[in-house]
Structure 1
């Protein structure tokens, strides 16, 4: 009986390690090429194609798990940004810098997920962690007189996100370097909010 329990625990631990290896490989390879094959992911993870499908029933499910993983990492990076110290403008710029670093690392995965057909409700749900933080900083800036208070923080948050998407699209198209896009985004966001230039 005890041997059976140990065997079951060992099989569970092996399965968890295998799943983690698949996700590690998928995150790296899909980040470089969102069209990369399941076979390539399996080879990089050191498992068979069948093992990948034992954990993820489809390529779409695997992509969803990778997206959930990088979203969790993105939220952790944004959590590390101190939104309450300094001026709201400084906090907003720190948040934009953290977002730029996330996009530099995982942008292709986010763009591939964004290209998939999702409902407006699902799109909004995916952006909630970013929207909540933007609204928090913008509300603080409006109360302090740093930002335009004629429009709602929610609207400004949506505009900032769309500007971020535009900056990412310019980088993907080769029209701007990542540094130039980051500078353009910071400048545009400050102008939209009628914040002091930096």
Structure 2
């Protein structure tokens, strides 16, 4: 049965939108001040088509931010977060996410200047937060991570530390190995887990990363 004109138009619109986002990722990373007309040319569409999908540069950047989030989530899934000790899985997730984000440094700097509300910012981080939360929950269940602080708080702290490590590296205050070491050590200490240099003493004198004995009722 032949496709309807409406179905064809919708398919064309989806292809145009995807082409615009792909072009924006390429162009704005190389030329942060590139115009929407330049992006339209790189996407093989007219400027009017760009404006039909994204009425402003800000709307385009927000859509690009969502695309980058999708990329980061995909590489986090590919890091096999469901296997091995939770601490190792978490470090794999952070490493994968950091490498994916560093593919678009100029774009991320632009996106960071956009004024969005706290809820919109949380919503954008939800795919990343959900994946980190799942690993932290597993680590708490196995006793690898301290379970006395709220899970959502620990997820937010982990994401915040990852952002800080990236900023320190981007500004040159820390080298890439220094930023990676600082992030890994800080996150695992916050969680009460073992660091790469060996287990740290945790509350009550136990070795972090070892299962905790529950207090007797």
TM-score (norm. length: structure 1): 0.83
Write out per-residue CA displacement over residues 83-127 of structure 1, whole angstroms, 9 at most, x where no aligned residue. Answer: 221111111111111111121113443443232112111111111
Of residues 187, 190, 196 in structure 2, which corresponds to 1:189?
A: 187
Q: Which runs of 5+ in 2 are unaligned?
A: 197-217
Deviates more, 1:102-111 or 1:182-191: 102-111
Counterparts in 2 of 1:90-105, with a 5 A limit? 90-105=88-103
Aligned residues of 2:73 and 2:97 also touching (Cα < 8 A): no
TM-score (norm. length: structure 2): 0.76
> How many matched pairs?
194
Aligned residues of 1:100 and 1:182 also touching (Cα < 8 A): no
Which is helix-richer, 1 or 2?
1
Partner of 1:120: 118
- CA separation of 1:12 and 1:132: change in aligned 2, threshold 3 A: closer
2:135 matched to 1:140?
no
Counterparts in 2 of 1:45-194, with a 5 A limit? 45-194=43-192
Counterparts in 2 of 1:11-30, with a 5 A limit? 16-30=14-28
- CA separation of 1:35 and 1:182: change in aligned 2, threshold 3 A: farther
Q: Which runs of 5+ in 1 are unaligned?
A: none
Query: Aligned equivalents of 2:142 and 2:13: distance in 1?
Result: 52
Write out per-residue CA displacement over residues 111-166 of structure 1, whole angstroms, 9 at most, x where no aligned residue. Answer: 43232112111111111122222222112212222222221221111111111111
Query: Aligned equivalents of 2:53 and 2:117: distance in 1?
Result: 26
- 1:15 deviates by 5.0
- CA separation of 1:159 and 1:106: change in aligned 2, threshold 3 A: same
Query: CA-atom RMSD, angstroms?
Result: 2.6
Query: Aligned equivalents of 1:186 and 1:80: distance in 2?
Result: 20
